[in-house]
Structure 1
Amino acid sequence: MRISDFHYDLPSELIAQEPLPERSASRMLLVDPLAARWQDCQVRDLPDLLRPGDLLVFNDTRVLPARLAARKETGGAVELLLDRILSDRRAVFLARSSKPLRAGMRLALPDGSWARVEEKQEMQVWLEREGEDWLALLEAHGAVPLPPYIQRAAEAEDRERYQTVYAREPGAVAAPTAGLHFDDALLARFAALGVESSFVTLHVGAGTFLPVRVDDITQHQMHAEITRVGVETVAAVNAAKARGGRVIAVGTTACRALESAAADGTLRPYADETRLFLYPGKEFRVIDALFTNFHLPESTLLMLVSALAGREFILAAYRHAVAQRYRFFSYGDAMLILPGALA
């Protein structure tokens, strides 16, 4: 499979630049790969499409203000975007500067402390602080890392709106954007209908912003992302399966967390980094359905939904979404891949 196999044409004006005033007011394209059909819906229709005993699995990661401005000892500006925190003193960043960074260089951070470049691989740098607590530094001096296709500076509203209402585990540099559609009222409707909820944690890394750079997609290497699937979630998934309920991942990150925890064929508690790459031909062992946003052309996320529902069918559904003027990407509309929904 070639990267060009996952291309579609998207007019730039369909890329959402602002969130809607209400989280659950977005449109939703219901797609049924079994019937090879789709239907235009609203996110608020989602409770009507689920059944008592179904299980929604959410990613509870919390987005950090992950962009930092630093300076070399010579005074040159360096833009840092967090990839992942390794410890209080060590972290991995994507770095941009006029001249490349090198191992051993020191960088001045916004709070007056310094960090040393331990290692560099392409755009990634491993930094060790002379002070401690990267989290505190980012909260005090970082900026919200809006995706590069949002052509505006981050605003105060983005601190809350580019965050799910159930975010609780700090560590992500990008939102698990499918979850941005859920508000407290919608979550209460699921609970009242007997649809259960559980949580995983996958801290979305800076690699999510990088394109696939190989033509043969099977040669692509995913960036590592810290992932946790707890005992409670494993039990909730097993109970849902036992009672005939469906496991619906809310977002590709929740999907990848669950599938990483079942990589050997059995779902188990998981606390490690994952580089799981799901593309057509790969097997899904846990999820039965996926609620997700619309993804960039030629991206690993588009490859994931193609693996679940079929490449040609997904690309046809995307062409329909373009024709119907859906809003795309992080602040855009949603898709529900639910086999059998339109049979």
Structure 2
Amino acid sequence: MTDPKKLAIKDFVYDLPDERIAKFPLDERDASKFLHYKKGVISDQAFTDLPALLPAETLLVFNDTKVVQARLLFQKETGGLVEIFCLEPVAPHREVQLAMQQTQSCTWKCLVGNNKRWKAGPVTLYFEGGVLTAEREAQQEGHFLIRFTWKPADLTFAEVLERCGKLPLPPYLNRELTESDHTRYQTIYANQQGAVAAPTAGLHFTERVMEQLTQQSIDTAYLTLHVGAGTFKPVKADVMEAHEMHAEQLYITKPLLQRLAQQQGQPVIPVGTTSMRSLESIYWLGAKVLQNPEIAPAELHVTQWQAYESINQPDAAEALQALLHYMEKQGTDFLHASTQIIIAPGYTFRICRGLITNFHQPESTLLLLVSALIGENWRTVYNHALANNYRFLSYGDSSLLLP
């Protein structure tokens, strides 16, 4: 078995010319090209063919996170601009859902552009009917803790961001925001505010495709993983052991766990890498609960290497039942957890049997995930996509990978 800690990221490189990166979305979401990979055989399709290409009895699982307008442009007293990019909440709530409902003030972990020019004191941002103020509380490795206060104080932080923030486009698009990005960089089913990057495999879905899924008797389910900026974090370490995966917040409902338990023996296919990481994390959370039934909800966290180091590896049905029993004992219908799981060659899939995904950057953890699913054939798939004019990355074309 491959030891994922010893993997060299230079083995996951391919040549991606800049002109192959889709800088803008297509006019129609579902008009993208669609690469179908099944047991080593590749065919070129249209995304609208997806419902007919899915295995019978498939359960498709979507990530319903919604991208928040996390980029804020503040004015200094001297007139210069300071850009603050909200990464994740710190106080009074670390949980994203609660942090978005916070009124009056809050503290977030942030990136700061033009920080050297921000000498001291607060910076302000005026918006229609109100004002947002930011102050640096502390500098930590690679980021700042920023305390925000606003008026009117009864606005939630979600409402404040909605009124004065900008949508954070992926850095590799290297362009200014356009009006269409506000709708096109969200999935049509986006519901839970808190992501700073879109789960882009879902951007291709339209009401028309959703209806076709129903006609093909393809069932759907939803979970929430708030995608963090770490999804764009380049792997700078020579071997993966030295790369720290970013943690992301995950929300799981009782109906989803019950549906996954019913689905055992039938295909579960995630829409996107975030859904896949979430589903596989659910298994490892179940394994953790089986090992320690008294675990505190605050300790529900999947570590980076847990999947490769854990001696306790129950079957998927046991893990799902353990989480359901745990929820009953806690008297709750949903769980809030976090995950740093890294899915790389050497990983054994517990829940997922395929993947709908876009084409990812060279030397990225997302490419490692694809390789974990289809092995060295990832090269064949990517060479085919490059040779056949597929568009790459967030606004690019799509694929269905069935090992």
With normalisation by structure 2, the TM-score equals 0.78
Give the alignment of 1:146-295 within 5 angstroms.
146-241=169-264, 244-263=265-284, 264=287, 265=314, 266-267=319-320, 268=323, 270-295=335-360
Distance change in 2, residues 1:160/1:257 (3 Å): same
Q: Calculate percent identity across the aligned residue pairs.
A: 43
Partner of 1:108: 124
Alignment RMSD: 2.1
Partner of 1:117: 136
**Is 1:58–1:250's contact at 8 Å kept on the other side of the alignment?**
yes
Distance in 2, Cα, partners of 1:95 & 1:119: 12
After TM superposition, the structure 1 stretch with the greater mean CA deviation from structure 2, 183-192 or 72-81, is 72-81
- Is 1:7 aligned to residue 13 of structure 2? yes
Match of 2:402 among 321, 329, 338: 338
- Is 1:79 aligned to residue 83 of structure 2? yes
Alpha-carbon offset, residue 235 of structure 1: 1.1
Distance in 2, Cα, partners of 1:53 & 1:137: 43
Secondary structure of the residue aligned to 1:257 is: helix
Distance in 1, Cα, partners of 2:135 & 2:238: 35
Partner of 1:135: 158
Distance change in 2, residues 1:13/1:307 (3 Å): same
- Is 1:58 aligned to residue 62 of structure 2? yes
**Is 2:68–2:161's contact at 8 Å kept on the other side of the alignment?**
yes
Distance change in 2, residues 1:105/1:320 (3 Å): farther
**Is 1:82–1:206's contact at 8 Å kept on the other side of the alignment?**
no
Alpha-carbon offset, residue 73 of structure 1: 6.4
Distance in 2, Cα, partners of 1:120 & 1:212: 23
Distance in 2, Cα, partners of 1:72 & 1:303: 42
Alpha-carbon offset, residue 97 of structure 1: 1.9
Q: Number of aligned pairs?
A: 333
Return 5+ residue gaps in structure 1 as ranges: none
**Is 1:292–1:336's contact at 8 Å kept on the other side of the alignment?**
yes
Cα offsets for 1:270-319 (capped at 9, x unmatched): 41222112111122211111000000111111111111111x21022111
Alpha-carbon offset, residue 56 of structure 1: 0.2
More helix by share: 2
Alpha-carbon offset, residue 128 of structure 1: 2.3
Partner of 2:302: none
Distance in 2, Cα, partners of 1:188 & 1:125: 45
**Is 2:52–2:216's contact at 8 Å kept on the other side of the alignment?**
no
Return 5+ residue gaps in structure 2 as ranges: 1-6, 288-313, 324-333
Alpha-carbon offset, residue 258 of structure 1: 1.1
Partner of 2:306: none
Distance in 2, Cα, partners of 1:96 & 1:336: 38
Distance in 2, Cα, partners of 1:96 & 1:284: 40
Alpha-carbon offset, residue 163 of structure 1: 0.7
Distance change in 2, residues 1:100/1:336 (3 Å): farther
Distance in 1, Cα, partners of 2:126 & 2:373: 44
Distance in 2, Cα, partners of 1:82 & 1:222: 19
Distance in 1, Cα, partners of 2:123 & 2:266: 52
Alpha-carbon offset, residue 75 of structure 1: 5.8
